[in-house]
Amino acid sequence: MEKGGGLELAIARAEDARGDQQADLVWRTKLTQIGDDFLEVERPQALGKGIELQSGVQLVAAFVIGQNRFTFDTSVLGSVRSGGPRPMEMVRLSTPTAIERCQRRFDRFDLQGLKLPTVTLWPLLDPKTVIPAERANELAFEAVMRGDAPSPEDNALMPQVGPPITATLMNIGGGGVGLRVGSAEAGVLGRHRVFWMKLPLGAEEPVPLVTTAKVVHTHIDSMQNTYVGVSFDFSFNPGHQGVVTAQITRQVQRVQAKQIPQR
């Protein structure tokens, strides 16, 4: 709190969902207040839209001090609105009863059973070619929202790209994501700054999230992996931003519903 740090938050898996293939999304949020019986953070966002977290939803929270990561269980107490000339939506969380240091597992940390999704990145050779690929993705998502099966051709259409690399999606911010790339594949980051990104959202969501991603910053962590901050770029197809936001929101609602069935 004193250093202006934050918490990483993810919706905890329901007991009967721990063996499924859903993608666990993690949000990086700023810690704004510590009360006697609550923690307060800025509401997680997806491309400027606040993510609605229901009261009572169980979360996994993590924070980093130096090279060490710590984690604890918490739950959503409710939402509040900050005062001042620029009011902001905040989320209040229960205080932890115990905090654990995350154990390293090879090149990563154990995150209490969360399955961080794997994304694929292709160097984007011609940015204009994302337009038909993104439009095909939008048509596939529209089909799913109607209750129809998406066309395999829509999911397969690609822009003009180079050879792919894989990365782990570490967290989501207001306008982009944080990725971790292994040392063996990180060399391409020095030659390309704009990528085509594909994120599968699990077996229950047949349409992956796809978007253009620009590298904003990189640094090498203590395990020699490269952490990459990327921002989403919708300059060639502004309408695609709404589809990406809807996909993220739909995923969050699905995971919450497994914890708290809708009446």
- The answer to whether residues 102 and 192 belong to one domain is no
- The answer to whether residues 251 and 225 belong to one domain is yes
Name the phi and psi angles at 51, rounded to 5: -90, 125
- The answer to whether residues 52 and 133 belong to one domain is no
Collapsed DSSP state (helix, strand, coil) of residue 92: strand
- The answer to whether residues 202 and 253 belong to one domain is yes
- The answer to whether residues 39 and 96 belong to one domain is yes
Q: Is residue 25 part of a domain?
A: yes
- The answer to whether residues 162 and 226 belong to one domain is yes
- The answer to whether residues 100 and 81 belong to one domain is yes
* The last residue of a domain, from among 109, 130, 148: 109
Specify the number of domains making up the chain.
2
For the domain that residue 251 is a member of, what is the CATH number? 2.40.10.220
For the domain that residue 96 is a member of, what is the CATH number? 2.30.110
The answer to whether the pTM exceeds 0.75 is yes
Q: What angle do CA 44, 48, 54 make, to 5 degrees?
A: 35
Q: Is residue 173 part of a domain?
A: yes
Q: Is residue 45 part of a domain?
A: yes
- The answer to whether residues 169 and 240 belong to one domain is yes
Burial (CB < 10 A; 0-12, 13-18, 19+), residue 208, is buried
- The answer to whether residues 40 and 141 belong to one domain is no
- The answer to whether residues 134 and 248 belong to one domain is yes
- The answer to whether residues 126 and 253 belong to one domain is yes
Amino acid at the residue 63: F
Name the phi and psi angles at 175, rounded to 5: -135, 15
Q: Is residue 36 part of a domain?
A: yes
- The answer to whether residues 245 and 125 belong to one domain is yes
8 A C-beta contact, residue 172 and residue 211: no
Q: Is residue 1 part of a domain?
A: no
Digit-by-digit pLDDT tens for the chain (263 residues) are 888 888 999 998 776 555 566 678 899 898 989 999 999 999 988 877 888 899 999 999 998 887 788 899 999 999 888 766 777 889 999 999 999 887 655 444 445 567 888 999 999 999 999 999 999 999 999 999 999 988 888 778 999 999 999 999 988 887 889 999 998 999 999 899 999 999 998 878 889 999 999 999 998 876 788 999 999 999 989 999 999 999 998 988 888 888 765 44
Sign of the torsion formed by the C-alpha atoms of 153, 127, 174 and 1:
positive
User: How many other CB atoms are found less than 10 A from the CB of residue 164?
Assistant: 14
* The last residue of a domain, from among 41, 75, 109: 109
Cα separation, 158 vs 139, whole angstroms: 14
Residue span of the structural domain in which 14 resides: 6-109
Cα separation, 255 vs 22, whole angstroms: 8
* The last residue of a domain, from among 60, 81, 109: 109
